[in-house]
Structure formats: structure tokens, C-alpha cells
Amino acid sequence: MDVRLMKEAGMTVCRIGEFAWSSLEPTEGYYDFAWLERAVALLAENGIKVVLGTPTAAPPAWLTHHHPDTLATETSGRPAQHGNRCHYNPSSTTYLRYVRRIVEQMAKRFGTDPRIIGWQIDNEYNRVDYSEDTGRRFQAYLKEQYGTLEALNTRWSAAYWSQTYADWREIPLPIGPHNPGLMLEFRRYVTRVWRDFQHLQCELIRQVAGDKQWITHNFMGWFDGFDHYTVAAELDFASWDWYVGTGHHNYLDSGLVHDLTRGFLNKNFWVMETQPGCVNWAENNNMLNRGEARTMAWHAVAHGADALLYWQWRSAPGGQEQLHGSLIGADGNPRPFYSEAATIGKEFAAVANQVQNTAPVNKAAILHSYDSRWSINAQRHNKALDPLDILRRFARPLAASNIGLDVVAPGTDLSQYKLVIAPAIAVLSEAESAALQQYVNDGGLLVLTVRCAQKDSANALFSTLQPGPLRETAGTEVEEYFALDSEVPVALALPGQVAAQTAGSLWAELLRPLNESTQTVARFGECNGWLDGGPAITISARNENGGQVVYVGALLNEAGQYALTSWLLTITNMQAAWPQPVEGVEFATRTDKDGSTILFVINHTRSSKEIALPQGEPFTDLLSSNSYQDVLPLEAYGVRIFAR
């Protein structure tokens, strides 16, 4: 009955097995795949393809009972408790031995099965181990990175607070605040642990499956436990698990997370899990409005999702997620949300051929750095200063202006972009600095913000003021920085724009132009005496290829940020997916290799809208086959899709 209901809802793929280790290996060395084979066969008979999850996120009780060294050690020194998933130590030699065995067995049985289209490795990597064994491994990692203790002590300024190390074994695992260099390197070490854990499984599967089955992992959006760009590098594409939790969907924020996930590999992605109406873990597990999940599904597709799956299918009678949203109730019958999922399935099928082999193609990028987030979050200097908030401040006005955006790492090839924004990229390596300078030299517009280019790759302050190695390119430097306890007035005098009074908060940087050709386009008002009348935003002179740097030394309020964004779009001559913004309505595009475009028009509100269309040009909706001219009506949570 379950598979029949899946088929009737238009579902074409099912993910199974990711938490089923105790069912796949009930006792050590005894493998039972018969139930999984029956499930795969039944799904295939009904035209549903299978994504197989390796079950390593939920090791069985017999394993953790007989081998307690496989349990992760908490910061308290106590072992993690069995039974809440991810209680394992991903670098435990014992655990990796058992991981190898179960994945080898699964790969041998299913790695050549044409009904299996791909694999998900583990589930939502997140655990950090603080065992003595991890301490020794971390010390070995540091020796590999720095070569000598003299080099490490120098780059970490270890003599400060008498932290100088004379033996690698003296270096601790950071628990709570610690030396900035030590804390950053430990995050990088954790990244390596997950990279190696994933590589073991990928290698075992690919030895059997080759390129006939793809491999992915389901990441968790902005989670910063490791560097996702590094861990994702070996995957065929990235996936993520998208949940709203409490409240309702905000497309200006969620679109950015889709763009982040797409940016891990600069490829389209999958939404491997999303909520069927509600979850069970939020403060208030409210239901999404009727029709809201449909707009969310098309929103994901518009940002590069090639598949969308729901967690979970049917409510289990027991277990921690018994109250989590699902499509089928504990009685085996469809819950109300099932009908909306069926509508989505029908619509996906209707346009699959047109959308297939298309992807977002954008001319604006925003840089995102885990090193920088870790660095700032460890030393915010103002507890309200969240580096992600700074990123969102710049991204939201772009989304509201119908400007598609890529979220990429600082070392990415930036040559395709007209506009690159570097929000709070505090840590810059030599290679990343060189890439940004090259981008400007080649004619790009680079926007630097507060907390940019403060530190080198060891999390140490540059010997020059911000923006460090980018000072000369930017034509300005930060004379002083200020954590603010109240708003500061900012007077905008952006070229070609109407002068305006706005305000900044949380953080301000007093800029000092390095030459007469650097133009000050905003100044601070009367504040603390230090900032009064000082440069708040500068723009360098155009170089011979037209490249420039804008340095924004204030965190502007919403009105100021939108005014700044409008100016940036004007000077870059950026083309929007739709020329006239409509509040609450998203316009986004995907393009194929021949340049043909699919336009998505999505009403994310509960109110109907009317959109003026170009005169004399008919628009035919791929979903309904209805044609519109002059005016496009959009019902509440309405979606229209056009081939352009």
C-alpha cells in the first residue's frame, strides 16, 4: 500500500537504509539484506528509483556495547550516550573497521544494481570527539601543518600568556575560548576527520559501482562544524536537509542556503530532506500553511535543486520522531499534506523535460568562508555581531531585486561575475588574496565589508591595517574599528543617487583613503567623537580594465542597505531576472547550455498579486498551458513557469 501511494503521488525516488544498521547487521558479522532487497524490488516495480544510505550515522547497540571506544567523548570527558544517532567517534580505528565491513557488504550487494541510482554517505555529519586519541591525532596533524614547534609558536604568538610549546604532546584540544590559531586549526582538523571518514566509504562504493551510481551527502545548511567546501569536494553533487521548524518560509533567506549548497561544487543539488508540513524538534512545531510547501518546492528548483524528497514518509509508532510530520499516518493512511505532495509530483512531471539540464547562471557572487566565520565567532567583540547576519544583509536586497546569486569560497574562479561581495571575510590566505586582487585587476567590482582581511591563514593579524594585503587594491585602510553600543548616523552620497540619511549599528570602521583618487561616498554623522564626519564607505578609482573596490565600513540599516545595493547594481549594469520587483514575489531563472531560459514566478505570500507583463508579448505557463498578456494574475502561493 505504501509504495502504491508513493506512485500515485508522482514520486519517482525513495531514500532508504540510512539509519538501518541494526536491521542490516543484527549481530556482528551476520548480514540480513533480504528485507532491503524486497523493498528495492517493490519500489522498482512501481517505477521508483532508490537512493541507498550508508547506515553509519546510527551504529547498533551491540557495536557500542562491545566496543565502547567507538563512542565519541564529549567535552566533559564522558562518552556520548547510545541511541540518539551520531554517537560515534568518526576517527576511531575500531569504528572505522566496522564501517568498512558494512559498507563493503552493501557495495558488493547493491553497487552494480541498476535500480540503485546513487548513495548518500552517512547522515548530517556533526559529531566532534574530544578523546585522548583525538588529542594525539590532532598533535600529529599540527606537526604535519607547521613542521616545527618554532614555526607554530611564532605564527600563534604563543609567547603571549606563556603558551609556548616545547613538545607536540603539550598542545591541548581547545575546549572553550583558547588561542586563535589553535582554535582555527582544530576546526580544520575536524574537517579532515570528516573528509577522511567520507573518503573511506566513497572509495569502497566506487570500487564496485564505478560511475554508474552517484554519491552525495546531506549537509545542514549554515552548520559550521567543518568546512563544507573541503568535505564536498569528493562528492558527485551536494545535498542538504531543509527545515523551517517554527514559523514560515522566508524566501529571501532560504534561497541563500540553496545557493550555498549549490556553491559547494558549483553544481545543481538535491534537497534530500524537507518537512511535510511540520517537524517535531522546534520550539513550536506549527504546520506550514496550505500551499506553502508547494511554493517551497518550486523555490528550491528555481535555485538549482534537481530533486526534492520529504522526511518522513510514515509515522513510526515509537522512536524519537514519532510526532514528526509525515505523509502517511501511523494508521497507514494519507495525512492531509499528502494531497499537496501529490500536486507537486504532478507538476514536477509536467515540466521535467523542460527543466532538465538547466541550472542557475548568475553574474553576482557572495563569498563565504568557514575560516572567517570561526575566527569572528570566537572573537566577536560585540556579541550581536554575527558574520552570517552580515552576509544576509547584503544578500537579501539582491534577492528582493531578482538578482541571482552564487555563494562561493574566496579561492573560487570569479571571472564570470560582474559583482563580488566579500562580507566579513576576516581570514584570507595568500592564494585567496591574490585571487581577489586578480578579479579586480581583470575588471570586476569587489565589495569589502567590516571585518574584512583582518587575519592571515594562521588567524594572526596582518602586519598592515585592514584590509591587509588588499589595501592598495582597495585604495583605503581601516584607521580604527568600533564595537557600537548605539546607532551611528550615516550620510550617503552615492554617485548618481539621491543623497540620503541612514544609520549603522553594531560595528563601524573609520576609513582612511590612501590616495586622492579614492572617493568617499558616505560619512559617519555625530556619534562618539572618533567617527564624527569620518569616511564610512569608499570606492577606489577604476583601473585600466574598469575594476574597482568598494569598502563598506558600516552595517547599514535596511533602508541604507537597499540604497547601497541599488547603487551597486547600477554601476555594474546588472540585469535582473525581472525588471520590476514585486513584494513577496520571486522571479528566478535556470538556463541550458544553449542559452534558453526557464523563468519561475513564485508568489510567497497569502495574498493574490497582479504583475504587469511586457506589452504584446504572450506568456504561456508550462504548468497550466494558460497564456497571459499584459497582466499576469498570481493567486496566493501561486506559481507560474515560462520558457523564455
Residues assigned a catalytic role = 124, 273
- Pick from 179, 73, 182, 58: nearest CA to 134: 73
The rounded distance, in Å, linking the Cα atoms of 268 and 495 is 38
Please name the residues in contact with 73: beta carbons below 8 A apart, sequence gap of 6 or more.
Answer: 79, 80, 89, 129, 130, 131, 134
CA atoms of 560 and 199, how far apart (whole Å)? 46
Residue whose C-alpha cell reads 585522548 in the numeric block: 132
| Cα four-point dihedral sign 139, 227, 223, 385 | positive
The CA distance from 4 to 21, in Å, is 26
Closest CA to 374 of 459, 453, 436: 459
Round to whole Å and give the CA distance between 141 and 194. Answer: 14
Distances (CA, A) of 116 to 43, 101, 269, 580: 10, 20, 18, 45
CA gap 24, 36 in Å, rounded:
8
CA dihedral sign of residues 623, 626, 629, 632: negative
Q: Spell out the residues 6+ positions from residue 379 whose beta carbon is closer than 8 angstroms to its own.
A: 180
Q: Within 10 A of 504 (CB to CB), how many other CB atoms are there?
A: 27
**573 Rama sector, left if φ>0, alpha if ψ -120 to 50, beta otherwise:** left
